Structure 1
Amino acid sequence: MVAKGSGKRSSAGIRGVRRGATRLVGLSLGVLSLLAVAGCDAGKAFNGFGWPQGGITPTSQRMYDLWIGSTVAALVVGVLVWGLIFWCVIRYRKRGEELPPQTRYNIPMETLYTAAPFLVIAVLFYYTAIVQTDVDRTSKNPDVTVEVVAFKWNWQFNYRDGMGEKAGTVASTLGDDRTIPVLVLPSNKKIRFEQTSKDVIHSFWVPELLFKRDVFPGPIRNVFEATLEREGAYVGRCAELCGTYHSMMNFELRVVSPDEYQRFLAAKQAGKSTADALTSIGEAPYATTTTPFPTKRQQS
């Protein structure tokens, strides 16, 4: 037997739930808008939410912005869900022995929690696709082309006169057990990196690029482009477990002005070593960000 007036109480309760849910959604959207506007500041305040800061390329900043936006969106969804949980715990806690109004379904709420995940996924996919396309974009006429040759366990950098495997090498830098190879490149120029390996899979990684790409053996040549906006010396590493001395497979990226780069390249073409060519443009002759590791061969 249904108590008199229970239907009215049920209707009022449902309307209260809807009003509360509407207010909560509105508040969450307001918080989302505020955090979206302050996304960069939030990233700085929370140390990038785990993403490295200080990228030296435009694409590194775009990847950083994508990470911050995704993290802020995840936090907003989390706050919304946590808020709904605690609101339900408080609003519908037991207040007596009377049976609360029974509701079989709530179409607006069910539509919300069914559509919202698809909406979140669609938005994240859209921005991820845009940033990924931008990172992978290559130009028809890059300013500089360098061939990155990886081998166990060091690097060779060939400065090329064109694109593709058939282009010629005008200068080269080769690393060994006693010398860290220094890759010299100009700032604010479009740099094309063409990668190949002589043996196993390696990975070309400069942390300040906030980007790395595998280096494959055989006919596969991975290619990417970057514009280096800040001059300086940056350590480079192999980011793919490639064998015994994987952790020792380092190099240095030296970003100089376009004029200094041309003078360095001219010195290399004149027969000077990489160290002498660096000295001729006023740069340190050897790597400053890392040093060669002693191998077992050296120790013995």
Structure 2
Amino acid sequence: MTRRRVPRAAALALLLASATACANDIPKANWSEGLLPEHITSQGDIVQNLWNGAWIAALATGAVVIVLIIWACVFHVKRKAKAELPPQVRYNLPIEMLYTLIPLVMVSVFFFFTARDSRDLQVLSGHPDVKVKVEAFQWSWRFTTTVNGKTLKPVVGQPVSDYKSGPQLVLPMGKKVEFELESPDVIHSFWVPAFLFKRDVIPGLAKDNKGRFFEITTLNKPNVYAGRCAELCGVDHSRMLFSVKLVPDAEWNQYIATQAGSAQ
């Protein structure tokens, strides 16, 4: 019996290691951000508020349930040798209506805030400062940036083992950036953990399909942030890494000047 358990345990350990190996570049969560990574977009504020609100509501609901369980255990213990059932509330219409209405109200509140925030995340201003065409392919990325009607030299990557070695998308601080997502082969997922949300890159969508576009407003937090594909897309999925570099205006203008001259 022991011999059979050893291969199973080894297989389970290998599976767990494989499942977690592709997430070692994700920034650690911190308490100040509600156990989420530090975000670099104003859209991240929306996600964080929804996250915090959901946890507060869940913890409050859990606390009420635990109190009721403890109350039932303490005040309905068997006090006599002969077991006696506590007073039953079967067929009590007011209580049964309460059991139905409270969950319905809770689900409705969760649905309202989720639908509202999902709508806000999909809003396009129509007047972005920067446009980026993101082409996801097996197994890397191609970033084509357009600023003031001028297209910069595309950044094309290849499969890598470290996101710092992959293609780098440079973005300015405090600007609106519109992304257009496209894939020529299979479904990918454009994920920068510091954005606090991700978008699928689905092949075959029409040019006017809003699912291909989304917009962010960057904050003033210059740094290099990890990015990856979050959709299992093939043999080199785990090496489909890239980075996003957020830079101040002076460095951004210098980057535009150097890249615009070599653009085709």
Shorter chain as denominator, the TM-score bin is 0.7 to 0.9
Q: How does 1:136-285 map to 2 (within 5 A)?
A: 136-160=122-146, 169-176=151-158, 180-220=166-206, 222-229=212-219, 230-271=221-262
Identify the range of structure 1 (226-235 vs 259-268) with the bigger mean alpha-carbon deviation: 259-268
* Displacement of 1:199: 1.6
Q: Distance in 1 between matches of 2:115 and 2:49?
A: 14
Cα distance between partner residues in 1 of 2:191 and 2:43: 15
Q: CA deviation at 1:262?
A: 2.3
Contact 2:158 / 2:240 at 8 angstroms: preserved in 1?
Answer: no
Percent of pairs with identical residues = 41
Following superposition, the deviation at residue 88 of structure 1 comes to 1.8
Deviations 1:189-237 (A, max 9, x none): 0000101012221111111111111112234461111112121101111
Letter in 1 for 2:222: E
RMSD over aligned CA atoms reads 2.6
SS in 1 for 2:154: strand
> What is the CA-CA distance between 1:93 and the residue it aligns to?
2.2
Q: Secondary structure at the match of 1:112?
A: helix
Return the match for 1:130 from 112, 116, 121: 116
Shift in alpha-carbon separation, 1:193–1:104, aligned structure 2, 3 A:
closer
Measured in 2, the distance between the counterparts of 1:176 and 1:98 equals 72
Q: Deviations over 1:118-171 (max 9, x none)?
A: 010011111111111111111111111010011111111111257xxxx87343
Contact 1:153 1:246 in 2 (8 A): yes
**Shift of residue 53, structure 1, vs aligned partner:** 2.7
SS at match of 2:54: helix
Q: SS at 1:155's partner residue? A: strand
**Structure 1 counterpart SS, 2:142:** strand
2:137–2:185 contact (8 Å) kept in structure 1: yes
| Amino acid in the other structure paired with 1:253 | V
Equivalent position of 1:78 in the other structure: 62
One of 87, 108, 117 as aligned partner of 2:71: 87
Alpha-carbon separation, structure 2, partners of 1:117 and 1:103: 19
Runs of 4+ in 1 over 6 A off after TM superposition: none
Q: Matches of 2:75 and 2:142 in 1, distance apart? A: 67
**Greater Rg by CA:** 1
Higher RCO (CA-CA < 8 Å; seq separation 6+): 2
**How many residues of Structure 1 are paired with residues of Structure 2 in the alignment?**
224
- Shift in Å, 1:101: 5.1
- State which drifts further: 137-146 or 53-62: 53-62
Higher alpha-carbon deviation: 128-137 or 93-102: 93-102
Q: TM-score, normalised by structure 1?
A: 0.67
Unaligned runs of 5+ in 2: 1-29
One-letter identity of the residue aligned with 1:169? T
What SS is found at the alignment partner of 1:171?
coil
Query: What is the distance in 2 between the residues matched to 1:233 and 1:175?
Result: 16
